[in-house]
Structures are given as C-alpha cells and as structure tokens.
Amino acid sequence: MYSTYACFANVQPRGAHEQIPTRLSDPPHLVVFSDTSWYNDASAAHARSNHPQWDQDLIGGGLETTIRDGVNVGTIDGAVRWRDEAETEPRYFLIGSYWMKF
C-alpha cells in the first residue's frame, strides 16, 4: 500500500508554477500539505498517487497511469479540501520530468 503526504512549508522554489508558502501571513489558500503524487509532465501520467493507490518503481522505469481521482490538500487557513483531478496542475518540480500535482 502506498500512502504518503508532502509538506510545502518553507521549501525552496524549484519551478515556474508553484505558490509555496513561506510564512503564516501568506494567502490562506496556499497549500501546506498534499497527498504525494509523482506526475510525469512528458507522458501526462502518474507514477505515484494516493487516490487510487498507485506506486511504481521510478528508477526501474515502472508503469504509469493516467487515472487519478484527485488529491487532498491542507491550506494555511487549516482547512483540508478535496480537489478533483481536473482542478489540479503541476505546481512543484521534483526531478527529471516529474512534478508534484495539486
């Protein structure tokens, strides 16, 4: 089973799309926590996801899936919300062509 979360508080900016909070006075809608997802921008598919559970070996060139229901996000204002997949976009660069999508 694969289930993990990512924390985006005070991380280094690494891409053009992210809005990463650096202080509590930042806008309340900014994401602090998210379900982990490894989204391959080149193939428009996920290598890792929590909804549904999907964990493939990235180093060994494992399979990817375009199926993902969405993601839970926790924002600065303390709310936890569900975002359908259609509402997400690549926001934090990971490695190679992989992004965290939330």
What is the structure's pLDDT at 59?
46
pTM: 0.74
pLDDT at 100 over 60: yes
The pLDDT tens digits of the residues spanning 25-80 come to: 999 998 888 888 888 888 888 877 776 655 555 444 556 666 778 889 999 999 99
SS (H, E, C) the chain: CCCCEEECCCCCCCCCCCCCCCCCCCCCCCEEEEECCEEECCCCEEEEEECCEEECCCCCCCCCECCCCEEEEEECCCCEEEEEHHHCCEEEEEECCEEEEC
What is the structure's pLDDT at 7?
80
